[in-house]
Every structure is written in structure tokens, then in C-alpha cells.
Structure 1
Amino acid sequence: MTTRAPEDVIVVDALRKVYDEKEAVAGITFSVRRGEVFGLLGPNGSGKTTALETIVGLRRPTSGTVTVLGVDPARDRRRITERVAVQPQAAALFPTLTVRETIQLFASFYGARQDPEAIIEEVGLQDEARARVKNLSGGQERRLLIGIALVGKPEILVLDEPSAGLDPASRRNLWSIIERQRERGTSVLLSTHHMDEATQVCDRLAILVHGSIAVEGEPDALIRQYSATATVSFTLPPTTTGIDINALGLTGDITTTETYGGTRVAVVTDDADAVLRRLTFTPGLHAFDYAVKHGSLEDVFLDAADRKPTESTNVMP
């Protein structure tokens, strides 16, 4: 059983959800702290959306418990809807209302709310404020959904694939929105398929595989754990003679590829700095076009996705 800390606003303890004998979520346990951005990652069908829907009270657990702001979200729906906002992957909006009218409508549902004009500006829809919902692009509608979620000043913001359909500039704007919410003390729980997004915005994350948490921890800590090695690449010009790469004393696995510009060398090593020093101080080497590639969250994700259901790794902050 997980222990609830005073700053935890979401506590998920041994959550299971079964549909017609199919286990969508298989006993997951994690918590989200106040003012934290927590990411749920995983392949399609891993249970992310089911977990989110249970956390916001749209579904009841088959077993286990979910506590949000100290209450059961499925039993105390009114309190949850007043304090928790959800931006789903898709929603049915009024197609003939304008963007401004839509934000104003949803703002009217809350006692404490943000200025609709400020929300329109925050999600970058100033130029579309008079446009009707039915005429919005997919990315614009996605931004409108985020604005609807923000207008009620939520304590917890739940985002399900928030950047789907957004262009690169809009994604960057979304990340800025999430960062501002964190600065205001809002907790953000999001699911995403974008590894750069998870690395950029998440304080902690969990990767779901087959309905179970395969990996959990801070993005940087996870990357360090799964990136014990780095690849140092460089090119030797065609004029280089008398150099035996294998005799340089480089620590790691070495591969060479002949290219138009010379010989491309890649060294997979657990000490990239030592390799670079050796290369730098070898007389007559004349190497150029150096590159050092470390692992990424995508490597962690792919490793976790290939893992068997019983395997898991937790990296605590």
C-alpha cells in the first residue's frame, strides 16, 4: 500500500481495471505531488487513457483505490469537477459558437474563473476568437480544448495527448502553458507519445506496458540509467596514413565506414571523455566532425515497451 505524503494530490494504489476479462490496468501504484508535472507514457493499448479516466472519476476501479485531493473521484464527482479540469483527446463542442463564446460559456460554469480573453490569448487563439468552432483546424480545436480546461482555475489539470495535431510552434506554446501552470502551483497529469515533450515538461513520469508500470522516475535519471554508454563518432580524412585505429587504446567497441569524405569511425564507450582525450592528443590523427551521442528517453521507452509484463524498473528521485 502506498503512503500518502501531505503534498500528494493524486494517489493511485494497486489500481486494476478489467473489461470483459481483459485487464486494461494491472495494479499500478503512483502518486502526483502538488505543483508537479507527471507524465504517463506507453504504447497504444497500454492502459494510459483507462488510468486517466479512472483518476478523474469517469470509471470505477475493478480493485485498488484512487484518491484525488483527498476524495474518491468516482463518488464525489461535484467536488472533483470543481477542482480538476480535463482536456480529452476529443470532445463534442457547439459547432456554431465562436471561440470566444465557447470560452465564455464554460467560464460561466465556475464560481472562480479566469478572464476568457486572457485564456484566448494564453492558448494563442486571438486571431480565431470570432471564428466558429466548426471552422477550426484540428490543431486550433485542440488549443481551444486546452483553454476550456484552464478557464476554471483548476488545482489539477489532466491532459490526454495534448499536443496531438499541433504544429511545432503550437507545441512549444503548449509547453510554456504547462510550465506556467506549474509555477502557479497547479499539478499537471498528462499522457503523451512525444518523448521530447515528456523530457521537456515532466518532473517525473511512468511508462505503462501491458497495463503495468514498467519504468518510473525522473526523466534525466532514467536516461542516465539507460545510457551508461555513449557513441563517439569522428571522421578521418583520406590523407590519414599510418594510423591503426585499433591500436589507439580506445575503450569501447569500434566500427568504421568508408565514406566520400574519408573514414567514419564510431566508438561505443562508457567513457566518452577518455575517448575524446585520446583522439585529441594522438599525433597525426587529424580527425574532424566529432559527435557524441548519448541515450534519450526514446531509448528508455523502447526498452520498456519490449519488456515482459512481469519486468519493471523504478528510479526514485
Structure 2
Amino acid sequence: MPHAEPAVVFDRVVKRYEREGRAFNAVDHADLSVEPGEIFGLLGPNGAGKTTSIEIIAGLRRPTSGTVRVLGLDPAAERDRLRRVLAIQPQHAALFEQQTVAELLRVWASFYPDPEHPDHVITRLGLDEARNVRVAKLSGGQRQRLLVATALISRPKLLVLDEPSTGLDPAARQELWNAIRSRIADGGTVLLSTHSMEEAATLCDRVAILHKGRVVACGTPAELVRRHAPERRLIFTVDSGRDLDALRRHPKVSDLVENRRNGAIEISLSTGDADALLGLVTAQLGGRDIQVKEAGLEGVFLRLTGFSFDAADDTTEEA
């Protein structure tokens, strides 16, 4: 059997903009390959290039340079053909505000030759109680799930989701994740951008980590952690007057971050031997509120970029 063609390919893709006389790359020589039948995540802070990448995939923007193929098509030149097999849920979209959820999805279903039944999509996304509620009256979380529903109803070969779990409570988020997995079970491929480490680690088969438009790592969440951040994170608080020199110089300490708040210092560090540091932290530094965590994808991002994930929000161009 021949190997199936990738669902999405980026080959050295660049998208360049000018702002106030200064040029910058929102997507910077990105290489990506999304395989059929997988849930692939674009993980990055605000402005990392996730939304721009999705707009290129959907044919809404042309790359400045590089090659893009989506389901074997050039998304910019063959957008009409691509629309038959791709569905996208943006972060924000205009909807018919005076229709009910059921009415809106029936209209959406009428646009496609073989749609999912609206009732099935409503149930799958936990919108049964909102079935007869007008769109204008929906909560933020319900509206977010309705946007996903409008993308799911066409049974797309490629489902593209931009920050789909924004504003959802844990129960609604789990329903959304189950709906995404169901698209895979039905033979589709899913590409999603996310700002959530938990979502990427729990839902995605593979993840590309983006920072300032560049793909800094790609692989399964477990592979990325094993390769780039096998250490654990030690998090604790000390009084602001404590001498931290011994901790900063300790051979078992790396990626130490200090945040000064309300007369105290919150410290987060990576270590391959948390047990060896606990004596120093408790006896010499008077550490409190001590937590030991696996580094996870947050640790991968910190190791590869030099920034914590939250701090990168403030240092990256909006894209």
C-alpha cells in the first residue's frame, strides 16, 4: 500500500508583514507535516504565529514564500476545491443572532451534500439545553461550542480549530475534546491551535511548538518532554530577604525563574534531582508552598526559547 499523502505540508513557509516601517515574519521558515487521521496541535503563546498559519492553510492568506499543500491542494490557488473538504472554526465569527441553535445548524447543514445530522452535532457538543435558544442569548462557552458545531457539521476531511476551548468550563471542554476525537474516529484529520498546555498534552497525537513564528520543536508530547525537559519543576516561595546565591549556583539547578510579589519571591526551577534540593529549600531558605511537578510541555518551551510560556506572551509580535 502506498503511503498516504500528508493532510498538511508547510515547506519553508514565510509570511512577512510590515508594521510602522518595520518588517517582521509572523511565520518564519516553518516546516510542518500533518498526517491523515491525527490530531495535530499548534502550541504557542499569543502572537506565536498560530492564527496566521491557520489562515494560510485555509487559503485566506498567501505565504510570502515557501510551499503549502492542504489535502494535496494549493490553498490559495484552489480555495474553491479546498472548501469542499476543509472546515475551519475561527476564534470569532458572525452568526445569525436571531436563529436558535437548531435552526442555525439546519441552515449550515443545507450547504453541504452529506452533512452530519444537526441533532447529532448538538448532542455531541453538549448543546442540548441550548437547542432552542437564540444565538444572541448564548453564553460565551455555548457560542464557542456552536462555532465548532458549524465546522463539524460538514464532515470535513480536515477540521481546523483556532483556540477551540477558550472560555469553556472543564465539563464543556471535555465534551469538546470528545467531539474532536469523534471526527478522527469517522476518518477525518484535525489541526488545532491552542494556548493550553493541558489541551495539547491530553488531546494531540503530535504537537508543533511555535515561538515568534518559528517551529522550535515537533513530536508527540511524551517525546518532546523526554527529549527536551526530562527534569521536574520545583516551585516554592521564600521571604524576599533570603540569600539565593547557593541555589543559583547549585549544579542540580537550571532554568531558575524568580517572581517577586508582595514581599516574597516565588521561585520555579528545573532539576534532575528534586529530592537533593528539598533540604536546601526547606532548611536553609525556609521555603514554603512547595510543589514538585513534571516539567511537561511548559518545561520544553522554557528550555527551547529561554522564556516561560506566560512571559512569552509579552515578548512576541501579535500574529
- TM-score normalised per structure 1: 0.76
Residue in 2 that maps onto 1:214: 216
Cα 1:131/1:46, change in 2 over 3 Å: same
1:292 Cα offset (Å): 6.2
Please report how far the alpha carbon of residue 252 of structure 1 lies from its aligned counterpart in structure 2 after TM superposition: 6.1
Maintained 8 Å contact 1:226/1:295: no
Deviation at 1:299, TM superposition (A): 1.5
Deviations 1:222-280 (A, max 9, x none): 111233334799xxxxxxxxxxxxxxxxx967xxxxxxxxxxxxxx86478x98xxxxx
SS of residue matched to 1:35: coil
Secondary structure, aligned partner of 1:8: coil
Query: Which residue of the other structure, out of 52, 60, 81, is the alignment partner of 1:79?
Result: 81
Task: Give the equivalent residue in structure 1 for 2:100.
Answer: 98
Larger Cα-atom Rg = 1
Amino acid at match of 1:221: E
Corresponding position: 1:180 with 2:178: no
Which residue pairs with 1:303 in the alignment? Answer: 303
Match of 2:33 among 31, 34, 50: 31
For the 8 Å contact 2:252–2:272, the answer to whether it is kept is yes
Q: CA deviation at 1:304?
A: 3.4
Percent identical among aligned pairs is 47
Which deviates more from structure 2 when the two are superposed, residues 215-224 or residues 131-140? 215-224
Contact 2:4 2:36 in 1 (8 A): no
Higher RCO structure, 1 or 2 (CA under 8 Å, sep 6+): 2
Give the stretch that moved more between structures: 139-148 or 22-31.
22-31
Give the Cα–Cα distance (whole angstroms) in 2 for the partners of residues 111 and 299 of structure 1: 46
Q: Is the alpha carbon distance of 1:144 and 1:224 closer, same or farther for their aligned partners in structure 2, counting shifts above 3 Å?
A: same
Amino acid of the structure 2 residue aligned with 1:8: P
Q: Which residues of 2 match residues 192-207 of structure 1 at below 5 A? A: 192-207=194-209
2:152 is aligned, of 150, 153, 171, to 150
1:17 aligns with 2:15: yes
AA paired with 2:60?
L
Say which SS state the counterpart of residue 78 (structure 1) adopts. Answer: helix
CA 1:200–1:113 in structure 2 vs 1: closer, same or farther (change >3 Å)? Answer: same
Query: Superposition RMSD on alpha carbons, in Å?
Result: 2.6
Q: 1:23 and 1:293 mapped to 2: Cα distance?
A: 35
Distance 1:126 1:13, change over 3 A: same
